[in-house]
Chain A
Amino acid sequence: MNAAAAKKLLMDWRVALLIILIVLSAIAIFPHFDRNGKLATNLQYGLDLQNGAWIQLEFRSEVVGFSSTGSTVNDVATNLSQSLDTDVIAIDATHVEIRKFYNQSDLEPYFTAAGAKITSYQQGISKSTADEVKSILENKINTLGTKDAKVNTLTGLNGVTRYVRIEMAGVNMAQADEIVGKQGKFEIRIQTTGNQTEHVLWGDAITSVGTETKSATTGNVWSVPFTLSESGAEALRNAAIKYDLIKDPSSHHLIMLLDNVTIFDAPMAASAAANLATTPNRQWQATTGTGTAGQEAAQALKIHLHAGALPVDVDIAGSGTVTAEQGAQNMSASLYAGILALLTVGLVIFIRYREPGLVLPMVLTNASEMIILLGFIAAIGFQMDLPTIAGLIAVLGTGIDQLVIITDEILHEGKVPSPNLYLKRLARALAIIVAAAATVFIAMVPLMVMPLTTLQGFALITIMGVLVGVIITRPAYGRIIMTILSK
């Protein structure tokens, strides 16, 4: 291959695109030495390559589609909300979210009474509720300082989210359960006389919870600000008046309970109590004390306040732990398996062709495919897990298959063809490849749209592998091999 031919090759758009993508991928992966002098990259790893725990929660709620002549979605939602005595949210013109678990058959009479007919039923929550749950859970976990927590909602093709999966690095299953598994039943009660208390409000009256703060003006006391709904604020005021809190706050403590366990018990500040006599107040602060103890108590209280605010009941569908030993073992095995696979595949190709001029471009094309895929993974912040790595290694094996198809098709009957015949044969080879790639693509599509825990990501990466191969690396390889053969 002379200089002019090499230049012509580099100018070919297929080859140029391949090179540009390799460079971009290298930037996205960003191999570098971290502060400890260890080789690090931008690649993110799933739980099974680290150490930590996962929990998958199932929503005790359903999204129901209906048809109705006459009633609007709001009419139906209001009607159901009253008859079922639960929150019913209108999602769009023909769907409502019912925040309590019922079977379809249980719901049918209620819909009939509301002048509607059920057309679809799916356990889960709508996208907007899913987003809300996700952010509540993220807040809750982040406040505990768990550094690497991922909250992923698992949504089906119909847009209904049935599960949320939480992965936390560095904790075990019991700790993870403690953090997210339980949805607490939060309640504020008021002390009436002696040990007697009365109910004031439930956790759903808390509309937002702020970050814990330390106030210098009150002697470095830690507190958690929170906001009540209008009805919640009204309920608190009514209770305060009814039980005389506004006149004598110190003998009528406010008590917060989570799952019937007292988590907070303190009198209302006298000034706040006095204000309450004239007007309801939605903004409150719960003070927890000074120093580290006060701070920790504030953090815990904040989480508890959130726990009460999760809008839907959940069940723990599953949970699991990956130990540090297993995670490290998985990581090194993945690395060695990848390297060994590349070497053995190269060896098989070498045994077959015995021609470095063919073997080298094939192996390098194959390796560049890996780099581009890893670059894509790094760029979208996808967490690689073991099935994905197995998928990548399989792509390594099948990717080179297709280079074999191209090579054999072109070298048909051992003769190097003229450029015209060459292009004809390349097109024929690409036709086989496209058909083969289409089958892989179609085989993975069902997984992409199913909320089957971690396999959605695996399917995405496998599909990407196919696309990168068919669109980018194979056509480029076709050009490269043409230049090499025509020397």
Chain B
Amino acid sequence: MEPFKYNIEKYSTRQLMLVPLILLVVSLILLALNTVSTGMPVTPGIEYAGGYSYTVVTGQTDDQIRAVFKGFPLVSIKQDPAGKELQFGPMETATLNSLNSVVSQNYPNHLAVSSIDATFGKTNQSMAVLALIISFIGMSIVVFITFRTFIPSLAVVLSAFADMVMTAAVMNIVGIQLTLGTTAALLMLIGYSVDSDILLTTRVLKRQGKLPDKLAGAFHTGIIMTSTTFAAAAAMFIVSWVAGVEIMWEISAVLLIGLVADVLNTWLTNAAILRWYAVKRGVR
């Protein structure tokens, strides 16, 4: 079965790279804007920003709840299986004490869900950012060691970089925060998103045959690889979305976004650079 024949013969390198490049630039601008407004490329969740959250059982609408907490740093209101989860940003002890009494007075049926010290959050945040950077550098080194040629390796790393940037930008658009769970998902993306790039590069550089056939063959295998991971992540997303398991749907959403970005970046950006390189080097 071949519903879609991968053939990039009729497009120039520039044409192929145009769409991913525009998306990459737009994503970078979005991340820059978010950095200006929140201090981080992706809005940090309570685990990194610090803050307090409560679950309250109430029949009030979100607007009514917002009115109750006027003057407090109420960040978000979410529905969870036990009630509504109210998330507040970091605050002074005095403010926290008055917040606690407001919660107790208005919602006899409530539960303090988490409290994260702002400094502790900052420490976690810097560790997470460091982990992401080191992971990315480590991945790049592995790629360069694997191929030992500059341009093909760079194409893989660029494609992985674009995956991360686009994923982070979409996270901001759809309102997924950077939490411990989504950090884990981004790290998985760093590791997994280069699978198809490595396959593509190996097939093109180390196999005999005509270039278009090798590209099509690599796509034939690569797209099914992405589909299986996509299927697993989609299953996870659907179940956890229905069940309201926030960490899990956030992780799976990040994986899904990243996989879509990966298809784009592998089979347009990376393939285009690789074809250009192969033609230049006389590989046919």
Residues of A within 8 A of B (CB): 48, 56, 58, 172-174, 315-321, 323, 325-326, 329-330, 332-334, 336-337, 340-341, 343-345, 347-349, 351-352, 354, 386-387, 389-391, 393-394, 396-398, 400-401, 404-405, 408-409, 412, 428, 431-432, 435-436, 438-447, 450-455, 458-459, 462
In the complex, A164→B123 CA distance in Å? 14
Q: A390-B181, A390-B252 known; A333 and B224 CB under 8 Å? A: no
Partner-binding segment picked from B17-25, B28-36, B66-74, B238-246 = B238-246
Instruction: Note all chain A residues with C-beta closer than 8 A to B121.
Output: 318
Flag if A387 contacts B180 (CB, 8 Å).
yes
Q: Which residue of B lies closest to A409 (CB)?
A: B221
Instruction: Note all chain B residues with C-beta closer than 8 A to A396.
Output: 232
CB < 8 Å neighbour of A450 from B117, B131, B181: B131
Instruction: Note all chain B residues with C-beta closer than 8 A to A337.
Output: 235-236, 239-240, 248
B284 located at the interface, meaning its Cβ lies under 8 Å from any Cβ of chain A in the complex: no
B228 located at the interface, meaning its Cβ lies under 8 Å from any Cβ of chain A in the complex: yes
Instruction: Note all chain B residues with C-beta closer than 8 A to A173.
Output: 111-115
CB-defined A-B contacts under 8 Å, sample of 21: A58-B120, A317-B116, A320-B115, A323-B82, A332-B243, A333-B243, A337-B236, A341-B232, A386-B251, A387-B251, A398-B192, A398-B229, A435-B198, A440-B192, A443-B191, A444-B135, A446-B131, A447-B187, A452-B128, A453-B124, A458-B184
B185 located at the interface, meaning its Cβ lies under 8 Å from any Cβ of chain A in the complex: yes
In the complex, A319→B115 CA distance in Å? 5
Q: What distance in Å separates the Cβ of A471 from its nearest Cβ neighbour in chain B?
A: 17
Chain B residues 210-243 with CB under 8 Å of chain A are 217, 220-221, 224-236, 238-240, 242-243
Instruction: Note all chain A residues with C-beta closer than 8 A to B1.
Output: 351-352, 354
B151 located at the interface, meaning its Cβ lies under 8 Å from any Cβ of chain A in the complex: no
Flag if A344 contacts B231 (CB, 8 Å).
yes
B167 located at the interface, meaning its Cβ lies under 8 Å from any Cβ of chain A in the complex: no
Flag if A326 contacts B80 (CB, 8 Å).
yes
Q: Which residue of A lies closest to B239 (CB)?
A: A337
Q: A352-B224, A386-B248 known; A439 and B143 CB under 8 Å? A: yes
In the complex, A396→B231 CA distance in Å? 10
B188 located at the interface, meaning its Cβ lies under 8 Å from any Cβ of chain A in the complex: yes
Flag if B247 contacts A48 (CB, 8 Å).
yes
Q: A352-B1, A394-B188, A454-B180 known; A389 and B248 CB under 8 Å? A: yes
B102 located at the interface, meaning its Cβ lies under 8 Å from any Cβ of chain A in the complex: no
Instruction: Note all chain B residues with C-beta closer than 8 A to A318.
Output: 47, 114-117, 120-121
CB < 8 Å neighbour of B224 from A394, A404, A441: A404
B12 located at the interface, meaning its Cβ lies under 8 Å from any Cβ of chain A in the complex: no
Flag if A401 contacts B229 (CB, 8 Å).
yes
In the complex, A396→B135 CA distance in Å? 22
In the complex, A98→B223 CA distance in Å? 56
Given contacts A341-B232, A442-B139, 16 further A-B contacts (CB under 8 A): A334-B245, A337-B239, A341-B231, A341-B236, A352-B1, A352-B224, A386-B245, A393-B236, A393-B252, A405-B225, A408-B220, A439-B195, A439-B198, A440-B188, A443-B188, A447-B131
Q: A337-B239, A452-B131 known; A401 and B228 CB under 8 Å? A: yes
Chain B residues 71-119 with CB under 8 Å of chain A are 80-82, 111-117, 119
Interface centre among B80, B198, B242 (most CB of A within 10 A): B198
Q: Which residue of B lies closest to A324 (CB)?
A: B82
Q: What distance in Å separates the Cβ of B284 from its nearest Cβ neighbour in chain A?
A: 18
Instruction: Note all chain B residues with C-beta closer than 8 A to A435.
Output: 142-143, 146, 198, 202
In the complex, A445→B252 CA distance in Å? 21
B283 located at the interface, meaning its Cβ lies under 8 Å from any Cβ of chain A in the complex: no
Measured as residues with beta carbon below 8 angstroms from the partner, the interface class of chain B is 35 or more
Q: What distance in Å separates the Cβ of B189 from its nearest Cβ neighbour in chain A?
A: 9
Instruction: Note all chain A residues with C-beta closer than 8 A to B245.
Output: 329-330, 333-334, 386
Q: What distance in Å separates the Cβ of A328 from its nearest Cβ neighbour in chain B?
A: 8
Instruction: Note all chain B residues with C-beta closer than 8 A to A58.
Output: 117, 120
Q: Which residue of A lies closest to B225 (CB)?
A: A401
Flag if A344 contacts B113 (CB, 8 Å).
no
Instruction: Note all chain A residues with C-beta closer than 8 A to B180.
Output: 387, 452-455
Q: What distance in Å separates the Cβ of A52 from its nearest Cβ neighbour in chain B?
A: 12
Flag if A391 contacts B188 (CB, 8 Å).
yes
Interface centre among A172, A315, A447, A459 (most CB of B within 10 A): A447
Instruction: Note all chain B residues with C-beta closer than 8 A to A442.
Output: 135, 138-139, 141-142, 191
In the complex, A455→B186 CA distance in Å? 13
B26 located at the interface, meaning its Cβ lies under 8 Å from any Cβ of chain A in the complex: no
Q: Which residue of A lies closest to B243 (CB)?
A: A333
B190 located at the interface, meaning its Cβ lies under 8 Å from any Cβ of chain A in the complex: yes
Instruction: Note all chain B residues with C-beta closer than 8 A to A351.
Output: 1
Q: A58-B120, A436-B194, A450-B131 known; A455 and B228 CB under 8 Å? A: no
Q: Which residue of B lies closest to A387 (CB)?
A: B184
Flag if B117 contacts A446 (CB, 8 Å).
no
Flag if B239 contacts A336 (CB, 8 Å).
yes
In the complex, A394→B130 CA distance in Å? 23
Q: Which residue of A lies closest to B242 (CB)?
A: A333
In the complex, A318→B48 CA distance in Å? 11
Instruction: Note all chain B residues with C-beta closer than 8 A to A453.
Output: 47, 124, 180
Instruction: Note all chain A residues with C-beta closer than 8 A to B217.
Output: 408, 412
Instruction: Note all chain A residues with C-beta closer than 8 A to B116.
Output: 317-318, 320
Q: Which residue of A lies closest to B125 (CB)?
A: A452
Flag if A394 contacts B232 (CB, 8 Å).
yes
Q: What distance in Å separates the Cβ of A42 from its nearest Cβ neighbour in chain B?
A: 23
Q: Which residue of B lies closest to A320 (CB)?
A: B114
Instruction: Note all chain B residues with C-beta closer than 8 A to A387.
Output: 180-181, 184, 247, 251
Q: What distance in Å separates the Cβ of A261 from its nearest Cβ neighbour in chain B?
A: 20
Q: What distance in Å separates the Cβ of A187 from its nearest Cβ neighbour in chain B?
A: 25
Q: Which residue of A lies closest to B221 (CB)?
A: A408
Flag if A325 contacts B248 (CB, 8 Å).
no
Flag if A405 contacts B81 (CB, 8 Å).
no
In the complex, A253→B117 CA distance in Å? 41
Flag if A401 contacts B111 (CB, 8 Å).
no
Q: What distance in Å separates the Cβ of A248 from its nearest Cβ neighbour in chain B?
A: 46
Q: Which residue of A lies closest to B132 (CB)?
A: A446
Instruction: Note all chain A residues with C-beta closer than 8 A to B195.
Output: 398, 401, 436, 439
Q: A394-B229, A394-B233 known; A431 and B202 CB under 8 Å? A: yes
In the complex, A451→B119 CA distance in Å? 15
Q: What distance in Å separates the Cβ of A178 from its nearest Cβ neighbour in chain B?
A: 12
In the complex, A442→B198 CA distance in Å? 15
Q: What distance in Å separates the Cβ of B152 from its nearest Cβ neighbour in chain A?
A: 12
Q: What distance in Å separates the Cβ of B206 from its nearest Cβ neighbour in chain A?
A: 8
